[in-house]
Structure 1
């Protein structure tokens, strides 16, 4: 009996399948070899696995706490307000708008007897208004802050007693004089959540360039 002639189409298909299988097996073998080499390198310490590195998640820096009032010699019941004329203050605009907020606050503070020694524009824009001061100006800062409904007390590393009022975007006008809770004979109260100044790291003082 005569054997059937080979089918060329079937032979070609079988050859292609063999070639495809050889490629697949070759890739698998190459992958296993590379994985083995990588594992050996990590085991020997040649390089570290990316999965062994700690995941870094940025943490928002907590704002500086506000300082408590200091003990003042001759005022055993607590620090009294500083006479307005003894409070040297610089007033700066730290808001985005073009409204002359520094000048407007200068007028109000001068009318109340504060000693405004300078005005101008601050070097950065702020949201909440701030009073900045050194350790010698804490009672002065509290005296000034009492004129406003919402202002933050910020301790910096200046040496003198002059303080700065920075008027930010979230600016609130000064309280009326009748609403200022200060009395020359009544000790001032600490702001809520305050920390003794000795436990606070002051921020660097910002010095504005001179014109």
Structure 2
């Protein structure tokens, strides 16, 4: 049989436990309510957030972006610029991947692209290492090479088009292979034909409104690098 004193002590202990639980839950609920009100105020712009650091996807901010030039009017092609014959497109392949020894580019990458482009009929003037490393592959060209660049771009799933400051009569195109490179599309998936006008890139800008970028040069090789080129 339980004594009245023990029963009373048990009741008091349970009462104190319930009081402590009520205090703890009350504090938690109040804290959550304050957090919710603060978040709502920040979201609505009523107060400034205590931090102002943008969220960046890894790799996206590593390389500057440039406006893409629109296709020019071509004499004798009133419906729009037609693709340039592959044999008339001069390409310089530059390995800008920076993944090889001493950051000079993944070995053999430039040569692989050179062979792929030659097999498709393009004229490759040179395949070597770029003086600058890039994250994403680019086609660089002057005002005279816009149609040729669009023609080459059709062979890649996603490639950046950058107008540079080479002479306006220079129709050559530089292919710079970045570290996040993608191989050319299968030839059957290239969506251009000789008798169908090319389509402007989405959001393109008239050439006159673009400030051309400096042309990226070739990396000067040391004697050791010359013996085992990374292209």
Report deviation, 1:63.
2.5
Residues 62, 105 of structure 1: CA spacing in aligned structure 2 closer, same or farther, 3 A cutoff?
A: closer
Helix, strand or coil at the partner of 1:136 = helix
Helix, strand or coil at the partner of 1:183 = coil
* CA RMSD in angstroms, aligned pairs only: 1.9
CA distance in 2, matches of 1:196, 1:101: 33
Select 1:115's aligned residue among 123, 148, 152: 123
- How many residue pairs align between the two structures? 153
Say yes or no: does 1:125 pair with 2:125.
Answer: no
Deviations along 1:45-92, one digit per CA (max 9) or x if unpaired, are: xxxxxxxxxxxxxxx997220111111000000000000000000001
Q: Give the gaps of 5 or more residues in structure 2.
A: 1-60, 100-105, 222-231
- CA contact under 8 A between 2:139 and 2:153: conserved in structure 1? yes
Please report the TM-score for the alignment, with normalisation by the length of structure 2. Answer: 0.63
**Range that drifts further, 184-193 or 97-106:** 97-106
Q: Give the gaps of 5 or more residues in structure 1.
A: 1-59
Structure 2 partner of 1:184: 194
Please report the TM-score for the alignment, with normalisation by the length of structure 1. Answer: 0.69
Say yes or no: does 1:165 pair with 2:172.
Answer: no
Structure 1 stretches of 4+ with a deviation exceeding 3 A read none
Which aligned pairs between 1:52-71 and structure 2 lie closer than 5 A? 63-71=65-73
Structure 1 partner of 2:90: 88
